[in-house]
Structure 1
């Protein structure tokens, strides 16, 4: 499968079968959420509809994604890219990979931020015309209280259909991130990450979210390689061997 276009990726997600593609654990809450390619594609399609139809955004517009590794983060990134919206993100630095700061001299078009990080980053969250907050709670629960000036991502995204919108094809030469890096260029980076870690087609990759916040590692590289991924937040390493066995993990990062 060619990820040169498909970080934008409705074709990538809808072209796969219904085996698990993305599994998320949080050992602090006991959450386990499993998504097939079709389910992740549906969430990405809803996010694309939220941005294109709900916010009037599209190619040339910019969004900051200030979220940790999570299945909803995957939906936001893939949905933004499928809408043609470029993104910035600020994960912890990963050796040899770029960190895209979300700061801008003028307001961005959209910002997605986790409720848990909002207080810590309040002074650094860039101004945006559309601001969404994500609780990232187990069971995709909506926020009990939404911070002023923000909208609850889950409440808004579920207003949009789970089918890919009929937008124009995103080209590999189009920018994927706010610094102008194209989908082709990010695919090359992701391919290098997959090769460096030995991630191959059919692998089941377990990723410690605290060690790898960079989306290229926990999302794009596995998808490019044709692998599925198990992302673990607050990983309890005493459970690692059992989890590898249960999830049929073939590689650990």
Structure 2
């Protein structure tokens, strides 16, 4: 009798990123996204020397690396202020000048507009720059320098603070689940999100993940490109 080898199983895609302007297309499974997030945690813990309770400002647009930054910062126990426009019924915290930050993540084209609103951080990383501006390190290359950092089991608890104002993981999770319910997301669904209009991570990351759905981020997509992505990616819901 011949030897039969079981076919290799391909892990489904959890997050897809499309940029119509640059042609960038990234597909990440849950384990791949988790690995990227663990590298960010390594950067924060080992590279920056940060600890639980330290403050991070994440002023980045929807992007696969933004997802890794957020998940890595949370897994490292940091309190994170989020970029994004408020949504009805959701309490959104944005960075304020009265809060000191230990690390800042910002898109290169937004640095000037934010420097007047927040104090200088000890560690600064930029996204979307061929060369990082003076005083900033390129985010993607900085992350690539570090091996994954795996936090101790049980580090994240529902009652732990996830933002500088003390909002807990449990509260954030409840808000994400409520938003997923509003959108109508269920396990196995696929959500297409317009990066230009849906910047808050509750919409493009936490809501779909809370429902067991995957997400497709469409950057720089006009209505025609957005509709084409909905067809090619076989999405079930969209946020334009």
Pair in the same fold by TM > 0.5: yes
The answer to whether the aligner puts 1:92 opposite 2:78 as a matched pair is: no
Q: CA deviation at 1:168?
A: 5.3
Give the corresponding residue for 1:154.
140
Query: Is the partner of 2:122 in helix, strand or coil?
Result: strand
Contact 1:194 1:225 (C-alpha < 8 Å) held by counterparts: yes
Contact 1:102 1:126 (C-alpha < 8 Å) held by counterparts: no
Query: Is the partner of 1:108 in helix, strand or coil?
Result: coil
CA distance in structure 2 between the aligned counterparts of 1:167 and 1:50, rounded to whole angstroms: 19
Query: Is the partner of 2:215 in helix, strand or coil?
Result: strand
Give the corresponding residue for 1:26.
19
Give the corresponding residue for 1:209.
195
CA distance in structure 2 between the aligned counterparts of 1:116 and 1:125, rounded to whole angstroms: 16
- Give TM-score scaled by structure 1 length: 0.85
Q: Any idea what the Cα deviations from partners look like across 1:118-142, whole Å, max 9, x if unmatched?
A: 133232243211111112xxxxxxx
Contact 1:70 1:231 (C-alpha < 8 Å) held by counterparts: yes
Contact 2:97 2:118 (C-alpha < 8 Å) held by counterparts: no
CA distance in structure 2 between the aligned counterparts of 1:106 and 1:234, rounded to whole angstroms: 32
CA distance in structure 1 between the aligned counterparts of 2:17 and 2:222, rounded to whole angstroms: 14
Give the corresponding residue for 1:82.
75
For 1:215-234, what aligned pairs fall within 5 Å after superposition? 215-234=201-220
For 1:114-133, what aligned pairs fall within 5 Å after superposition? 114-133=107-126
- Give TM-score scaled by structure 2 length: 0.90
Q: Over alpha carbons, which structure has the higher Rg?
A: 2
Root-mean-square deviation over aligned CA pairs: 1.7
CA distance in structure 1 between the aligned counterparts of 2:23 and 2:56, rounded to whole angstroms: 31
CA shift in 2, pair 1:241/1:105, >3 Å:
closer
Give the corresponding residue for 1:252.
238
The answer to whether the aligner puts 1:37 opposite 2:30 as a matched pair is: yes
CA shift in 2, pair 1:152/1:167, >3 Å:
farther
Give the corresponding residue for 2:106.
113
Name structure 2 gaps, 5 residues minimum: 1-9
Give the corresponding residue for 2:66.
73
CA distance in structure 1 between the aligned counterparts of 2:153 and 2:55, rounded to whole angstroms: 17
CA distance in structure 1 between the aligned counterparts of 2:20 and 2:184, rounded to whole angstroms: 26
Give the corresponding residue for 2:50.
57
Give the corresponding residue for 1:13.
none
CA distance in structure 2 between the aligned counterparts of 1:107 and 1:93, rounded to whole angstroms: 22
Contact 1:49 1:165 (C-alpha < 8 Å) held by counterparts: no
CA shift in 2, pair 1:106/1:191, >3 Å:
closer
Name structure 1 gaps, 5 residues minimum: 1-16, 136-142
